[in-house]
Amino acid sequence: MTAINLNEKLNMFDDFWKPRVIAELNGQQVKISKVKGEFVWHDHKNEDELFYILKGTLRMEFRDRVVEVTAGEMIVVPMGVEHRPVATEEVWMMLFEPANIKHTGEVKSHLTVDSYEKI
Protein backbone atom coordinates (compact mmCIF):
# COMPACT_ATOMS: atom_id res chain seq x y z
CA MET A 1 0.00 0.00 0.00
CA THR A 2 2.05 2.86 -1.35
CA ALA A 3 1.37 5.96 -3.39
CA ILE A 4 1.76 5.27 -7.12
CA ASN A 5 3.02 8.36 -8.89
CA LEU A 6 1.85 8.45 -12.50
CA ASN A 7 4.49 10.84 -13.81
CA GLU A 8 7.21 8.74 -12.23
CA LYS A 9 5.83 5.65 -13.96
CA LEU A 10 5.35 7.49 -17.27
CA ASN A 11 8.99 8.56 -17.20
CA MET A 12 10.10 4.92 -17.12
CA PHE A 13 9.43 4.36 -20.82
CA ASP A 14 8.98 6.29 -24.03
CA ASP A 15 7.77 3.78 -26.60
CA PHE A 16 4.29 4.06 -28.06
CA TRP A 17 1.31 1.67 -27.88
CA LYS A 18 2.88 -0.54 -25.20
CA PRO A 19 0.74 -0.22 -22.08
CA ARG A 20 2.32 -0.97 -18.69
CA VAL A 21 0.37 -2.24 -15.69
CA ILE A 22 0.70 0.02 -12.65
CA ALA A 23 -2.04 -1.38 -10.40
CA GLU A 24 -4.47 -4.30 -10.09
CA LEU A 25 -7.74 -4.56 -8.21
CA ASN A 26 -10.92 -6.62 -8.38
CA GLY A 27 -9.72 -8.51 -11.45
CA GLN A 28 -9.13 -5.22 -13.24
CA GLN A 29 -5.90 -3.54 -14.22
CA VAL A 30 -4.80 0.06 -14.38
CA LYS A 31 -2.42 0.62 -17.26
CA ILE A 32 -0.63 3.65 -18.59
CA SER A 33 0.42 4.16 -22.18
CA LYS A 34 1.99 6.72 -24.48
CA VAL A 35 0.54 6.70 -27.96
CA LYS A 36 1.15 8.49 -31.22
CA GLY A 37 -0.22 7.79 -34.68
CA GLU A 38 -2.97 5.40 -35.65
CA PHE A 39 -3.80 2.21 -33.80
CA VAL A 40 -5.64 -0.71 -35.35
CA TRP A 41 -9.43 -1.16 -35.64
CA HIS A 42 -10.58 -3.73 -33.08
CA ASP A 43 -13.16 -4.52 -30.44
CA HIS A 44 -13.27 -6.51 -27.21
CA LYS A 45 -16.11 -9.00 -27.22
CA ASN A 46 -16.60 -9.16 -23.44
CA GLU A 47 -14.78 -6.21 -21.95
CA ASP A 48 -15.60 -2.55 -21.54
CA GLU A 49 -12.57 -0.30 -21.67
CA LEU A 50 -11.95 3.08 -20.07
CA PHE A 51 -9.49 5.63 -21.45
CA TYR A 52 -8.52 8.55 -19.23
CA ILE A 53 -6.37 11.14 -20.97
CA LEU A 54 -3.45 12.60 -19.01
CA LYS A 55 -1.81 14.65 -21.76
CA GLY A 56 -2.80 15.66 -25.29
CA THR A 57 -5.96 14.83 -27.21
CA LEU A 58 -6.99 11.36 -28.26
CA ARG A 59 -9.20 10.98 -31.30
CA MET A 60 -11.37 7.92 -30.67
CA GLU A 61 -12.76 6.71 -33.96
CA PHE A 62 -15.91 4.62 -34.10
CA ARG A 63 -17.48 3.28 -37.29
CA ASP A 64 -20.18 5.96 -37.16
CA ARG A 65 -18.56 8.86 -35.34
CA VAL A 66 -15.41 10.35 -33.85
CA VAL A 67 -15.04 11.53 -30.25
CA GLU A 68 -12.16 13.77 -29.22
CA VAL A 69 -11.00 13.14 -25.67
CA THR A 70 -8.60 15.63 -24.19
CA ALA A 71 -6.49 15.78 -21.00
CA GLY A 72 -8.77 15.59 -17.94
CA GLU A 73 -11.43 13.68 -19.85
CA MET A 74 -12.31 10.01 -20.11
CA ILE A 75 -14.33 7.79 -22.40
CA VAL A 76 -15.77 4.31 -21.92
CA VAL A 77 -15.81 2.05 -24.96
CA PRO A 78 -18.42 -0.66 -24.36
CA MET A 79 -17.73 -4.30 -25.18
CA GLY A 80 -18.32 -5.25 -28.79
CA VAL A 81 -17.91 -1.73 -30.15
CA GLU A 82 -15.25 -1.37 -32.82
CA HIS A 83 -12.88 1.48 -32.17
CA ARG A 84 -9.58 2.89 -33.33
CA PRO A 85 -7.57 5.27 -31.12
CA VAL A 86 -5.65 7.89 -33.10
CA ALA A 87 -3.20 10.43 -31.71
CA THR A 88 -2.05 13.15 -34.07
CA GLU A 89 0.29 14.45 -31.39
CA GLU A 90 1.68 12.34 -28.53
CA VAL A 91 -0.94 11.35 -25.96
CA TRP A 92 -0.43 9.95 -22.46
CA MET A 93 -3.29 7.98 -21.03
CA MET A 94 -4.47 5.69 -18.29
CA LEU A 95 -6.60 2.61 -19.01
CA PHE A 96 -8.98 0.71 -16.70
CA GLU A 97 -9.94 -2.69 -18.00
CA PRO A 98 -10.27 -6.35 -17.02
CA ALA A 99 -6.96 -8.11 -16.37
CA ASN A 100 -7.65 -10.75 -19.04
CA ILE A 101 -8.38 -8.32 -21.89
CA LYS A 102 -6.61 -8.87 -25.21
CA HIS A 103 -4.81 -5.78 -26.47
CA THR A 104 -6.38 -5.77 -29.94
CA GLY A 105 -9.24 -8.21 -29.37
CA GLU A 106 -9.26 -10.95 -32.01
CA VAL A 107 -7.28 -8.77 -34.42
CA LYS A 108 -3.55 -9.34 -34.75
CA SER A 109 -1.29 -6.51 -35.79
CA HIS A 110 2.37 -5.56 -35.47
CA LEU A 111 1.21 -3.32 -32.61
CA THR A 112 -0.39 -6.15 -30.64
CA VAL A 113 1.11 -6.74 -27.20
CA ASP A 114 0.55 -10.25 -25.81
CA SER A 115 1.62 -9.63 -22.24
CA TYR A 116 1.99 -6.45 -20.28
CA GLU A 117 5.01 -5.38 -18.28
CA LYS A 118 4.29 -4.37 -14.70
CA ILE A 119 6.12 -1.33 -13.51
Contact residues for its own copies, defined by CB under 8 A: 1-7, 22-26, 28, 30, 47-50, 60, 62, 65, 67-70, 72-78, 81, 96-98
Minimum Å gap between C-beta 17 and its own copies is: 21
Cβ of residue 6: shortest distance to its own copies, in angstroms? Answer: 5
User: How many angstroms separate the CA atoms of 37 and 30, rounded?
Assistant: 22
CB nearer its own copies, residue 17 or residue 44: 44
Across the strands, what pairs with 66? Answer: 61
The residue among 36 and 62 lying less far from its own copies, judged by its C-beta, is 62
Q: Is 12 left (phi over 0), alpha (psi -120 to 50) or beta?
A: alpha
Query: Which neighbouring-strand residues pair with 83?
Result: 42, 62
Q: Which is nearer to its own copies, 3 or 110 (CB)?
A: 3
Residue whose CB is less far from its own copies, 7 or 108: 7
Spatial separation of the C-alpha atoms in residues 73 and 57, rounded to whole Å: 9
